[in-house]
Amino acid sequence: MSILSNLADECLATATCQLPVELLTKGSFSGRQTAKKIALAAHVAQIDPYRAATHNKGIMNGVDAVTIAMGNDWRAIESAAHAYAARDGQYRGLSHWSLSADQQFLQGELTLPLPVGFVGGSIKIVPLVQLNQQLAQIKEVSDLEKLLVCVGLAQNLAALLALVTEGIQRGHMQLQLRSTALAAGAKITEVAEVVQQLQAQGQTDLTSAQLILQKIRKNGDHNDRI
């Protein structure tokens, strides 16, 4: 029974941010409207564990990716985060969002237990981890903790912004259409046009994407000859 707990609640990292509400203007929603909706959505995650589970999953989408890139055990970080989310007996959202008193800023805060490593184990012997540390300018373990919690907060903001404005489904469909275009063989410079035509014709299967791509390239060859 001699083993460390993954609930490292004395190894906490906190990220905060403050955004002018006008930056959140999207579609028909004013920045202030969007900010209020984000704050309300975050509040729901504090009182409803069903919403909290999805809320926190979104946070960990970003955290897990960085954890893996930095040669750490993402399952340990997941376990720590979800246990911490239930530290008062009810599972809650890990982040908090609110409007400033003058309603000019959206304020966010996220605290995570992050028992990560900077050296030791496979971290110092995997070349890709070394490269990732250099790219992220990780000089010490506190740098990694800061990066992880900041990515988590940014990921959460992106998810909430989509959720309260255009809806998550639209964003997911955009990703699906891009994946379909790439699977059809589209180059990066061709993806946007393939996606646009798939949406216009209402057919989103691989065969349709391949036919669209053939037409795009045929037209391109014709224009080049002209």
Q: CATH number, domain at 218?
A: 1.10.8
Q: What is the mean pLDDT of the chain?
A: 91
pLDDT at 173 over 80: no
User: What's the confidence (pLDDT) of residue 201?
Assistant: 86
d(CA 125, CA 53): 35
- The pLDDT > 90 percentage for the chain reads 70
Put the strands of the sheet holding 12-20 in their side by side order.
Answer: 12-20, 105-113, 95-99
User: What's the confidence (pLDDT) of residue 171?
Assistant: 61
Higher pLDDT, 26 or 147: 147
Among 166, 193, 216, residue at a domain's last position: 166
Number of domains in the chain: 2
d(CA 148, CA 78): 12
* pLDDT tens digits, 61-82: 999 999 999 999 999 999 999 9
Domain check: are 125 and 220 in the same one? no
Q: What's the whole-number mean pLDDT along residues 134-143?
A: 94
Length of the chain: 226
Domain check: are 79 and 145 in the same one? yes
User: What's the confidence (pLDDT) of residue 143?
Assistant: 96
User: What's the confidence (pLDDT) of residue 226?
Assistant: 53
Q: For residue 81, which phi and psi values (nearest 5 degrees)?
A: -65, -45
Determine the structural domain holding residue 76 and report its residue range: 12-166
User: What's the confidence (pLDDT) of residue 221?
Assistant: 62
pLDDT at 135 over 70: yes
Among 166, 183, 210, residue at a domain's last position: 166
Q: What's the whole-number mean pLDDT along residues 5-33?
A: 92
pLDDT at 223 over 60: no
- The pLDDT > 70 percentage for the chain reads 95
Q: What's the whole-number mean pLDDT along residues 184-208?
A: 90
Residue type at position 69:
A
Residue type at position 5:
S
Largest CA distance in the chain: 77
Looking at the domain assignment, is residue 117 inside a domain?
A: yes
Looking at the domain assignment, is residue 114 inside a domain?
A: yes
Q: What's the whole-number mean pLDDT along residues 145-150?
A: 98
Among 150, 166, 182, residue at a domain's last position: 166
d(CA 186, CA 189): 8
Domain check: are 214 and 102 in the same one? no
Domain check: are 160 and 200 in the same one? no
d(CA 80, CA 75): 9
Looking at the domain assignment, is residue 45 inside a domain?
A: yes
* Chain Cα centroid distance, residue 152: 7
User: What's the confidence (pLDDT) of residue 225?
Assistant: 56
User: Using an 8 Å Cβ cutoff, are 45 and 91 in contact?
Assistant: no
* pLDDT tens digits, 80-130: 999 999 999 999 999 999 999 999 999 999 999 999 988 877 787 888 998
Of 7-11, 89-93, 151-155, which range is least confident? 7-11
Domain check: are 19 and 123 in the same one? yes
Buried b (16+ CB within 10 A) or exposed e, 33-69: bbbbbbbebbeebbebbebbeebbebbbebbbebbeb
